[in-house]
Structure 1
Amino acid sequence: MSDVILSNTDLDLPQIHNLLNLGAIYLNGQRLQEDFSVSEGAYLRVHTKPRRFPKNDGKWSERIIFENQYFIIVNKISGLPVHASVDNIRENVQAYLEETLNQPVFLTHRLDVPTRGLIVYGKTAEFQTAFNKMLIARELKKIYRARVTNAPPMGFLTHFMEPSPRAPKKVDRVEQPGWQNCVLEVLSSTLLDDGSYEVKIHLHTGRTHQIRAQLGFENCPIIGDHAYGAEKIWEEERIELEACELEFTNPLTGESHHFKI
């Protein structure tokens, strides 16, 4: 495989080995982790410039808020994906947790790369399945804290999101065929000394980029969220959005849990 890539790209051997380590090379649709011989007619896909994220700083034990035999609650930092991406399986919260705990953990829900805060990982596939069913039934209460440029309307905000895989996401107040409803509730809004507002939000539906898109549409984008109308402030992927509170019932035991930062 390496000789094929060497003869068809400007990559050298150390670069190819690094791409293999990141999981950025595919053979016939399967991600490679080591060098393989390539037969004629095989399809080789190489992500030559994989997206990079902060390396493991070794502090993940400190970021575990709660742990039992079923799940882990982690305080995610900005700038990291919660799971592997198509061209990088190493630099993400899930991989760093598995390295720290020396055991597999299972993704249950997501936070955007620039968003920080509380996220749940299952410790068993059984919990993951049961928790995902609970998410579909909207039995998880999620509260977010955001700092925004302008004060949003208080109470419920309802928009509809275009069903597209592309970002930034497009929303509108008017429902269109096939568009998904997005509902959040602004619980409080406080004017800060710098002229921005700190708002507390109860997320009722969990669409990709939902809070960011809805607040951007209302002309009150999140500080640092240049994709949705705010000024770009930091070089790193960071916006002033934090998942600050989670409340749910363990679907396997019936025990109630409430976590807050």
Structure 2
Amino acid sequence: MIAQLDWLREMSTVSVLLRLLLAMLFGGLIGLERVRKRRPAGFRTYMLVCMGAALTVILSQYEFYMVTHEWTELAAEIGLRTDVSRFGAQVINGIGFLGAGTIIVTGKQEVKGLTTAAGLWASACMGLAIGAGFYECVALCFALIFLVIRLLPFIETAIIENARNMNIYVEFQSLDDVGEIINRIKSQDVQIYEVEIERGREERSRNPSAIFFIRMNQKQAHTRVLAAISELESVYAIDEI
């Protein structure tokens, strides 16, 4: 702990203002990265989540201070007790409804929004640390969260592109074309270990589709496999998920 920051850990107007401003700043900076990628939760959402979490901890500290000082006699008379951690625990539980709102399952059976939901949860936890005046932890936490959402996607993309496993979504004309698609996939020196087929619905004007879970016998570009399948006349849409 840095001794020079001890005065900022006290319950004073300057300390409270600094904590709320830090929560707005750090939460907003993380949100800016998400809004650049057109994610559901962006700049203002992250800012409000982080600031709200910080305010929750400040409220807990204020209540504890009042019960042990100005409200001591009244608290003893009515048997009032306070737990400074209970508000923070409710933040951790309550942030789930926001995270769940950012997670969607697309028509390709692809789950999206998990990183945004995790970022909101981490932002809330960072707000709790800011509200508690744990400035050393806040600096490390912000740096690591920003590293995860800003730099690591490049590494993740490189790993996925060089992986031998692929999940391919294919939309085609009719179920009679499944055999032709399977043969074309196998001709690319890959193994199919699972297939999920969804029948089309005429009332919704949807064509039948399938998700192929495959493994390449040797390392090759994923685009090569996708291009080979897309050459079939019966294939309307294809994507790696």
TM-score (ref. length: structure 1): 0.27
More strand, by proportion: 1
Higher relative contact order (CA 8 A, sep 6+): 2
Higher alpha-carbon Rg: 2
TM-score (ref. length: structure 2): 0.29
More helix, by proportion: 2
